[in-house]
Structures are given as structure tokens and as C-alpha cells.
Structure 1
Amino acid sequence: MTRPYSRITGTGSYLPPRRLSNADLVAELAAKGVETSDDWIVERTGIRARHFAAPDVACSDLALHAAQNALQAAGVEAKDIDLIIVATSTPDMVFPSSACILQNKLGIAGCPAFDVQAVCSGFVYALTVADAMIRTGTATKALVVGAEVFSRILDFSDRTTCVLFGDGAGAVVLEASDTPGILASDLHADGKHVGILCVPGHVSGGAASGHPLLKMDGPAVFKLAVGVLEDAARATLAKAGKTQEDIDWLVPHQANIRIMQSTAKRLKLSMDKVMVTVDQHGNTSAASIPLALDSGVRSGKIKKGETLMLEGVGGGFTWGAVLLNL
């Protein structure tokens, strides 16, 4: 018997109700003695708003809403899922995984469930793992989720980072198929860049030690991101025997509009072919790609049968891309 392919059969997303425009955030920061402006944020990032979860809302809560929406779109019941992977850097607990917690909230048990930690590349990593498990017959219906509550790890005294991030979740149902869905992927990491984007803290003796808030060298991240995203996209196209002319939509990690524009330019793609949600969501790390994908599908921009390039880059440093037919 030939190994099956895998295809995305449903997408879903969820944003917490609390929406902060730049004006809202600027006012909150001013009250803390931190000065910034809407113009400063938009010019450097393209971000105009983001969503923050309430204090009692966990990563798995956001994941649950997104997962239920994806299951409904796929016409699949939770009990039929035989693999759950959650990509997150902001899990509910040190352990168990948010995937196990999500499994319980879905009312199912027995199937493997685990988290993937590759920061903003997490969803691309998780999708690649799920595809491999389906191709080897380990799973037939996978739930792949990216979910983050990045507001919990932001330093609100640092205007260069706290304005960038938001909370949210996105999910897909990936099913075994006789026809190709995921065509190729390309994953990488280079740990020597760990210091330019990290949260250098941990739990020790019942307290947080180190610096448990996000730190980033923005110019270094930008310089590295643009190059590796182009390389990953080209490598993925080569593996699939495709060219950039075959791409109907680029669905990139929503980090910064400048990075997205630079990547599109290097791939000779019009921005009309790039899914952009960073203006309304901010950078939601592992959730940003599935959020953008679901936005495109539900708005009717992205259509069945089209070829999509998903790509992300994040702390680690990690990066990767997936080419798929929807």
C-alpha cells in the first residue's frame, strides 16, 4: 500500500475579545511613563491593533476555540482526531503540555498529544511533523494548532518590543488523502543566534529566575529573517519541483510588514499575493500563520485548489517553510 498524502480539510482561528488599538496601547504605556506613538508603531511595524487575553485565560483556552472552529469547518468530530500538536511558546504550565490540556477540554483521550516549541516557526514545524506522521500511517486525522498568550511575557517598559505582540490561536485539521496536499517542507535552526530573541528566564525553587520577559535585538532579527525566509521558500519550491510563479498565496509569519515586503520582493511576488493580518493582530508568534490562513480562507481570498507557501522565522533561531495545495 502506498503511503497517503495529507491535506488541510478545515481551518479555524480565535482572537480574545479585548482589542487594543495603537492609541489604546499608547495611552496605557504613557500611564507607566513609556512614550511611543501610533505613527512610530505603524511606520516601523505596520501594526495598528492587537488582542490581549484576560488574566484567567490560558493558551489552551484560545486553542480550544480555534480547534473547534477548524473541526467544524472540516466536518470532523473531536472523537475522530488521532493526533494533537500544539505549537506554543506560552504554554499553560511547565508540564503537562498544552496539547494534553486541550485534548481533555475537547473531551477526548488516547491519541498522542504534545507541544512543539519553535517560537514563531512553531506552526510550520508542527505541520511538518503531522504530515510526516500521517504519511507513515501513525495518524489519519490530525489537529494542528498554534496558540499564544505573548502578552504574559512582554516587558511593558520596553517600547521596542511590547508594541509588537498579541495573543490568539489558529488551527487546521490535517487528514490523510489520496491526492497531494502538503507538497514539501524545509526546516532549519541555528542556536548560535539564541541571544537576539529570547526569554532568558526559568522556574527555579518556586520562583522565576533570570529575566522571564522577552528580549530582542530588532535589527539583527530583521537582517537574519529576510535572508533565511527566502532560502527556505526557494528550497521548498525546489523539493516540490515548483517555482515562485506557482505560488498563489504567500502566508508568512506576521512579524513585521517590512520583513514581509522584503521577502515578497526577493521572491518576485506582488504584495497582492501576500496574506497580511499583522496590522490587526500584531505578532502572535506560532499562532500568526494559521490565523492569517484562516482569515484568508474565511474571507474568500484563499480558495480551494490554490497553492500556498507558508513560512516562519523565530527565536532559536528557527525557520522553515511548507508548500501545499489547499
Structure 2
Amino acid sequence: MKRIIIYLIVLHTVFAQDKIITNDNSTIVGKIQQIHAGKLKIKTDFAGVLTIALKKIKSIQMSAESNIGLKKGDSLKGKLGLDANKQQIDSGGKKSDLELSNIAALWLLNAKDPRIKKGARWQFEANVGMIIKQGNADERNINSRIIAEYIREKDKFLSYFKQYYSESEGIKTGEEFILGADYENNFKPRHSWYLRTEFEKDDAEQLELRTLFGAGYGYYFIKEAKQQLRGRLGVLWRDEDFEIAEDKDTTALDTSLHYKGIYDWGIWTTDLEYTPSFEEFKDYRAKHETALSFPLAIKNWSIRLGVTHDYNSQADEAISKIDTKYFTQLMYRWQ
């Protein structure tokens, strides 16, 4: 009886191990700890924890489920295995083919996603530069922007401040302030809900204060480590107090697209926003911003080039319906 118990324990231990086959057909047996940044860590009895480049692995067979994050953005619980020499993932009894190169991360069920940096929750960005403005005013301007972002595994909070200041021959000709905040909660890998608010003052529009509150649903069409495309659909309330024109109170549709791509040469971002009034769709605001950031030789410093458009379909006749700004900024980012 004692021998049978020992045999069962040994048998369980063998079958409870994960197995890796490398490109040179070597076999490594142990317990996979994680996959992160293109590397796999496996704990073995004979050599402790080994680190192997994922591209050097031919196949993986797992004895138990783990958390698996895919490069396309989905995260699920499952285990990797082989079927007719094809790499597969088994998630809740549903099997499907999976290339190892499509795995962004893997971590134990009781562990945290290794893609979430420990102790690096806050990210900051400061920009200052010159712009050329066309529309309500054609002049040179000084602009600045400060961003603070708090990131957690399933949500993030973004706050920002923007200022545009223009003068001609020492006389102030225009000034604009924008203060805003945005909260996003990812209740599923690609699905989220959001809340946002913004306050704006603009001399060119003779605007004393524009107050905005929005809420709605967001979906990530692309959610990868180096590329994201997110759409939003919600409801927005906007209150505008003007110096001369009649004040406005509007409830509108809140739609937007956000793209961010990280490339070898730098970062590309594009934001599109369209907010038509529910009362009359001809009454709308449309915004666009595209920026390219190029890293400098000095750590954390970049040059940011871009353009913004702000279109108001119901702008007062005395001012232009569209404001276009071209900017060049020196940017510093830190955590």
C-alpha cells in the first residue's frame, strides 16, 4: 500500500509539470512562471528558474491554467497544449490554434500581470513651444501643456492643463485655458466605461467659460503593447457662457476615436471628436489633433510636432468657425 501511495505521488508530480520543446528539440520540464517581454521563465528542479527567449521555443504544454494575455488585446484563463503537433490554447474546454508569437504575457492565476509596472503608477508630461495660428487670429503664440496620468491594471485617470497665449508688439491679443480630466474603467479587456470633464476659457471666441461633462462606453479595436485604437460613444452636457453672445446649454452625442502607435522612430497620436447636439445635429463641434513625437539624445526629452483643428458649426458671425493650430513643442516625460 505504501509503495502504491509513493507511486501515485511521483506520477502526479510528473504529470503536474509543464513541458517546453525548444527549436533544437531539447525538452525542459518544470513549472512555467510567466511570459513577459518575449521571454519565458520556468522553474525547474535541476536548475532553478530558467529564462528562455520565446522565439527559441517550438512548443509548450501546460498541466494547469494560467492567465494569458494576447497581443491583440484579449486576456483569458487557459492552458497551452499540443494537438496533432499544433500549438493550441484550451480556455474553458474550448480549444483553438495559437501561435506562440501572439502571446504578449502569461502569469500564474494568483499573480499580477507582469506588464503592469510595479511602483510606476504615475506618469507625467510637460510641453512648451511655439505655434502658428490661423483662423480667429493669425499670429505667433506660446503654448504649454501639462499631463498627469495614473495607471492601474483595470483603470486609469488622466488630468491635463493647456494654455495658449498670443501677443503682437508686446500687446496681448489672445489667451486660452483648458483644464480637464478623464477616467476610464476597463471592465473587460476591450470594453470600458468613462467619465470626463473639461473647462475652457477663450478670448478669441469671447468665451468666459465652457463647461463640459461626458460619460459613456468605450471599445478598443486594437489593444496591443505598441498600438491602440479606441472608440467612444456616450452622452455629453455642455454649458457655454459668452461675453457678448447668448449663453448656450446643450446636451449632445459624445463620440471620439483615439489612436496611439509606438514606433522605432517615435510616437504617433491622433484624436478625433464629434459632438452633435441632440436637438439639432447641425449644431455640432468637431475636433482633431495629430502629433508626432521624436525622442532626443537626452533621456526623457522629445520634440513634438503637430496640428489641431477645432470646428464650431454655430460660431458667431464675427469669428471664424474653425481654429487651426500648428505647433512645435519641447517635451519632457517622467515617472
State the TM-score, normalizing by the size of structure 2. 0.25
The structure with more radius of gyration: 2
Higher RCO, 1 vs 2 (CA within 8 Å, ≥6 residues apart): 1
State the TM-score, normalizing by the size of structure 1. 0.26
